C-alpha cells in the first residue's frame, strides 16, 4: 500500500470507554483514525482494526458476550478471516475471544479485585502485525486495568498456543492469575492479536512512556508504510 496513509478503524460499542484514547493514538501513529460504530455493518475499507477497551454493554452477563453480536462484528469477522490485522485491547480482547476469533477466555482475576497498575511484560513473538517492530524477548512496561484478565484455555489449547509461538505477550509479574502468565495471544493466522495491557496508554512521552506507541506502530511496518 506504499505511502498511502493507513486507515485504522476503531470499533465503538455501547460502553466502550477507551475508544477515544485509541482514536487519538491512531493519529499519533501517523495513520488515519476511522470510527466504526457498532450498529453499522461496514468497516469503511480500513486497513486494520483496533477493538478498544472499556465495558461494552457494561460487561453485563460476561465481558464481550453481548458486543460480539453487534452488527459491525460480521464484517469484522470476514476481515479477520481474510487476514486483516485486528488488535483487541482489554475488553477488545474479551470481545474477540467471545467471538471465537481468538482462543480461550478471560476469567475473573483470582484476587477478585479490579487491578489498575503498570506491569512488565515480555514480547514473546514478533511475527504478528502488532509486534513486528519490536524485538523478540524485549521487555515492556504496560498499563493494565481490568476485572477479568485471567486468561484460561483448555490444557490442550494452551500447549498448542505455546508450541506454535502464539503467546504474544507474557507477564513478568502476573497481575491476575492468568495461565502461563499469558498477557496476549494471537490466532492461527497470526493477524488477530488480543492483549490485556493498554498500549495506547503509554504512547506519549508526556505520560511517561511511548513503549505502547512502538508496539502499535508495528502494524505500519507490516503494511510497508
The single residue among 40, 41, 42, 65 that binds other proteins, judged by CB under 8 A, is 65
* Secondary element (H or E) of residue 187: none
Known catalytic membership, residue 198: yes
State the catalytic residue, choosing from 98, 148, 200, 211. 200
- Give the nearest distance from C-beta 76 to other proteins in angstroms: 16
- Give the nearest distance from C-beta 19 to other proteins in angstroms: 9
Taking residue 161's Cβ as centre, other Cβ atoms within 10 Å add up to 22
Q: Which residue has the cell 497481575?
A: 175
The single residue among 35, 40, 77, 105 that binds other proteins, judged by CB under 8 A, is 105
State the catalytic residue, choosing from 38, 90, 98, 146. 90
- Grid coordinates in use for 130? 502488532
Known catalytic membership, residue 160: no
Give the nearer residue to other proteins in terms of CB position, either 128 or 178: 178
Q: For the sheet containing 32-37, what is the strand order? A: 32-37, 7-12, 48-51, 86-89, 192-195, 182-186, 167-171, 115-123, 139-146
Phi, psi of 207 (to 5 degrees): -105, 15
The single residue among 41, 122, 126, 152 that binds other proteins, judged by CB under 8 A, is 152
Residue 164: which residues within 8 A CB-CB, separation 6 or more? 188
- Does 117 sit near other proteins (CB under 8 A)? yes
- Rama region for 185: left / alpha / beta (φ>0; ψ in -120 to 50; rest): beta
Per CB under 8 A, residues contacting other proteins are 14-15, 17-18, 20-21, 24-25, 39, 53-55, 57-62, 65-66, 69-71, 98, 104-105, 107-117, 143, 145, 147, 150, 152, 154, 177, 198, 200-201, 203-204, 206-208
Amino acid at each position: 500500500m506504499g505511502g498511502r496513509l493507513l486507515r485504522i478503524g476503531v470499533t465503538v460499542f455501547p460502553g466502550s470507554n477507551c475508544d477515544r484514547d485509541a482514536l487519538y493514538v491512531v493519529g499519533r501513529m501517523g495513520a488515519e483514525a476511522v470510527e466504526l460504530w457498532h450498529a453499522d455493518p461496514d468497516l469503511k475499507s480500513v486497513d486494520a482494526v483496533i477493538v478498544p477497551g472499556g465495558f461494552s454493554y457494561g460487561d453485563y452477563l460476561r465481558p464481550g458476550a453481548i458486543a460480539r453480536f453487534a452488527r459491525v462484528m460480521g464484517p469484522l469477522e470476514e476481515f479477520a478471516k481474510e487476514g486483516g490485522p485486528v488488535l483487541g485491547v482489554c475488553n477488545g480482547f474479551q470481545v474477540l475471544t467471545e467471538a471465537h476469533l481468538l482462543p480461550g477466555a478471560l476469567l475473573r482475576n483470582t484476587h477478585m479485585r479490579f487491578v489498575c497498575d503498570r506491569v512488565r511484560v515480555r514480547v514473546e513473538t514478533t511475527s504478528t502485525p502488532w509486534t513486528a517492530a519490536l524485538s523478540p524477548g524485549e521487555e515492556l512496561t504496560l498499563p493494565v486495568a481490568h476485572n477479568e484478565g485471567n486468561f484460561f484455555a483448555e490444557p490442550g489449547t494452551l500447549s498448542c498456543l505455546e508450541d506454535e509461538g502464539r503467546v504474544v505477550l507474557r507477564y513478568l509479574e502476573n497481575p491476575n492469575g492468568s495461565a502461563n502468565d499469558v498477557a496476549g495471544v494471537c490466532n492461527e493466522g497470526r493477524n488477530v492479536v488480543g492483549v490485556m495491557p493498554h498500549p495506547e496508554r503509554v504512547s506519549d512521552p508526556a505520560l511517561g512512556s511511548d513503549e505502547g506507541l512502538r508496539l502499535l506502530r508495528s502494524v505500519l511496518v507490516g503494511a510497508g508504510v
